[in-house]
Amino acid sequence: MGHIPVMLDHVVEHLAPKAGEVFLDGTFGGGGYSRRILESAKCHVIGVDRDPDAETRSAPLKSDYPDRFSFAGGRFGELDEVARACGHEQLDGVVVDLGVSSFQLDEADRGFSFMRDGPLDMRMSQSGPSAADLVNSAPEAVLANIIFQLGEERDSRRIARRIVETRKAEAFTTTLQLAEAIEKAVGGRRGKKTHPATKSFQALRMFVNEELVELANALEAAERALKPGGRLVVVTFHSLEDRMVKAFMAERSGKTEGGSRFMPVVQSEGPAATFEKIRRVTAPDVAEIEANARARSSRLRSAVRTEAPVWDADTDLSVDLPSLSEVCR
Ligand SMILES: C[S@@+](CC[C@H](N)C(=O)[O-])C[C@H]1O[C@@H](n2cnc3c(N)ncnc32)[C@H](O)[C@@H]1O
């Protein structure tokens, strides 16, 4: 089955496309967002994806909209450079829909799923260190930290210990081999609703693809690329991602929270706000969740670019982990 786009109506409503405008869909996937944006106004869309397979899926859109749609392989963390390379110095809208697509999850050979046996890969871009490189070489403490922080897995230490013990006898090469080791580490399924490897697989995938680093880079790249009045829309699936987008939008709109939810939001004295009109959709509606379980944890946030100059500040990642290149040399 293909990928069902999440919160599609909300995404297009927040992007509000108009004729002649230029949009960048930073996570093309199966093209669900790109197609709807192209249908909703006579605008232009650049579809971007780091997965080479996505380009093949973009063929129908290229043939339906030869003058208004183009595809560019690359990372959304560099979306301003990608847009420039496509001849667009500035954009009217940017959307990113984080995580993996159903195409990637459903294909055993991509190694994202603990439900299907395949090579332990998990690389969206199909290049660089794989999940097997990570679990076969990372120190136990680093693995535990990755699984705890990115997977919010309480049994992270036990899982990391089991991985390290298992790999002494035989290196991990397949998804089911890892899923089994994780299941054993936590003492089986014991009536759990979700598979015991769910959180660990998510954590390893996020680390292998440097997903939080990419998100932080994308937010800053969008600040550089959007025109005054340009819209930024982000769909997240993980609390760490949502927290990062929320913090970025609060900071760049000049509002810092008073340290506790009971303290008032205060206007900061930093540089002029680069974003305004911050909006959030708390969650998809019940009908969407019933039709698409994957939508359950999704959150949407949007903001509108002001005329103020780009800030000279890095987004605080707030996750204390080494980089992928430090762990997989
Ligand atoms: C959730 S899917 C997007 C689905 C899409 N909105 C649709 O309607 O079909 C996420 C896609 O983003 C891609 N992706 C994830 N991180 C990326 C990054 N940093 N740069 C570019 N593409 C990325 C993945 O390869 C995947 O195809």
Report the pLDDT value the prediction gives residue 142, as an integer from 0 to 100. Answer: 97
Per DSSP (E only), the strands in 32-81 are 44-49, 69-73
The closest-lying atom of ligand 1 relative to the alpha carbon of residue 215 is 19
Report the pLDDT value the prediction gives residue 324, as an integer from 0 to 100. Answer: 93
Report the pLDDT value the prediction gives residue 329, as an integer from 0 to 100. Answer: 80
Report the pLDDT value the prediction gives residue 137, as an integer from 0 to 100. Answer: 96
**Is the residue at 329 inside a domain?**
no
Contacts made by residues 173-176, CB under 8 angstroms, sequence distance 24+ = 173/119, 173/120, 173/132, 174/111, 174/117, 174/118, 174/119, 174/120, 175/108, 175/111, 175/112, 175/113, 175/114, 175/116, 175/117, 175/118, 175/119, 175/120, 175/201, 176/114, 176/117
The answer, yes or no, to whether any atom of ligand 1 lies below 6 A from the CB of 27, is yes
**Is the residue at 45 inside a domain?**
yes
* Higher-scoring residue by pLDDT: 293, 14: 14
Instruction: Report the percent of the chain where pLDDT is more than 70.
Output: 94
Q: Which tokens in the block code for residue 286?
A: 């019940």
- The CATH code of the domain that includes 176 is 1.10.150.170
Report the pLDDT value the prediction gives residue 282, as an integer from 0 to 100. Answer: 79
Report the pLDDT value the prediction gives residue 265, as an integer from 0 to 100. Answer: 60
Question: Domain check: are 132 and 176 in the same one?
Answer: yes
User: For the chain, what is the domain count?
Assistant: 2
Reported as a pLDDT band with limits 50, 70 and 90, residue 139 is very high
| Ligand 1 centroid distance, CA of 102 (Å) | 10
Question: How many helices (DSSP H) and strands (DSSP E) are in the chain?
Answer: 15, 9
Average pLDDT over residues 196-202: 95
**Is the residue at 267 inside a domain?**
yes
Report the pLDDT value the prediction gives residue 237, as an integer from 0 to 100. Answer: 94
User: Which of the listed residues 23, 28, 292, 324 should we mutate to test ligand 1's pocket, taking the one with most ligand atoms within 8 A of CB?
Assistant: 28
The answer, yes or no, to whether residue 181 has pLDDT greater than 80, is yes
Reported as a pLDDT band with limits 50, 70 and 90, residue 319 is confident
Q: Which tokens in the block code for residue 258?
A: 């008073």
Residue 239 CA to residue 237 CA, distance in Å, equals 7
The closest-lying atom of ligand 1 relative to the alpha carbon of residue 218 is 19
Question: Domain check: are 141 and 286 in the same one?
Answer: no
The closest-lying atom of ligand 1 relative to the alpha carbon of residue 5 is 8
The answer, yes or no, to whether any atom of ligand 1 lies below 6 A from the CB of 54, is yes
Q: Are 273 and 308 in contact (CB under 8 A)?
A: yes
The answer, yes or no, to whether any atom of ligand 1 lies below 6 A from the CB of 32, is yes
Residue 250 CA to residue 301 CA, distance in Å, equals 11
**Is the residue at 117 inside a domain?**
no
**Is the residue at 120 inside a domain?**
no
Reported as a pLDDT band with limits 50, 70 and 90, residue 193 is confident
Report the pLDDT value the prediction gives residue 318, as an integer from 0 to 100. Answer: 65
Nearest CA to ligand 1 atom 20: 75
* Higher-scoring residue by pLDDT: 313, 283: 283
Report the pLDDT value the prediction gives residue 260, as an integer from 0 to 100. Answer: 52
* Higher-scoring residue by pLDDT: 84, 3: 84
Question: Domain check: are 200 and 279 in the same one?
Answer: no
Average pLDDT over residues 93-98: 98
Report the pLDDT value the prediction gives residue 298, as an integer from 0 to 100. Answer: 95
Final residue in a domain of this structure, among 155, 177, 208? 208
User: Which of the listed residues 3, 23, 49 should we mutate to test ligand 1's pocket, taking the one with most ligand atoms within 8 A of CB?
Assistant: 49
Nearest CA to ligand 1 atom 4: 29
Question: Domain check: are 228 and 268 in the same one?
Answer: yes
pLDDT tens digit sequence for 98-133: 999 999 988 899 999 998 999 999 999 999 999 999
Nearest CA to ligand 1 atom 9: 30
Q: Output the average pLDDT for the chain.
A: 93
**Is the residue at 119 inside a domain?**
no
Question: Domain check: are 247 and 284 in the same one?
Answer: yes
DSSP state of 58: T
The answer, yes or no, to whether residue 57 has pLDDT greater than 80, is yes
Final residue in a domain of this structure, among 177, 208, 239? 208
Report the pLDDT value the prediction gives residue 300, as an integer from 0 to 100. Answer: 97
Question: Domain check: are 194 and 238 in the same one?
Answer: no
Question: Domain check: are 93 and 69 in the same one?
Answer: yes
The closest-lying atom of ligand 1 relative to the alpha carbon of residue 77 is 19
Nearest CA to ligand 1 atom 8: 32
Reported as a pLDDT band with limits 50, 70 and 90, residue 242 is very high
| Ligand 1 centroid distance, CA of 100 (Å) | 6
**Is the residue at 118 inside a domain?**
no
Nearest CA to ligand 1 atom 12: 27
- State which residues form the domain around 55: 8-101+211-305
Question: Domain check: are 227 and 275 in the same one?
Answer: yes
The answer, yes or no, to whether any atom of ligand 1 lies below 6 A from the CB of 97, is yes
Q: For residue 285, give Cα distances in angstroms to 14, 160, 210, 282, 301.
A: 16, 37, 30, 9, 15
**Is the residue at 112 inside a domain?**
no
pLDDT tens digit sequence for 293-310: 889 999 999 999 999 999
CA angle 24, 31, 124 (to 5 degrees): 85
Average pLDDT over residues 201-210: 97
Question: Domain check: are 67 and 94 in the same one?
Answer: yes
Report the pLDDT value the prediction gives residue 268, as an integer from 0 to 100. Answer: 65
- The CATH code of the domain that includes 261 is 3.40.50.150
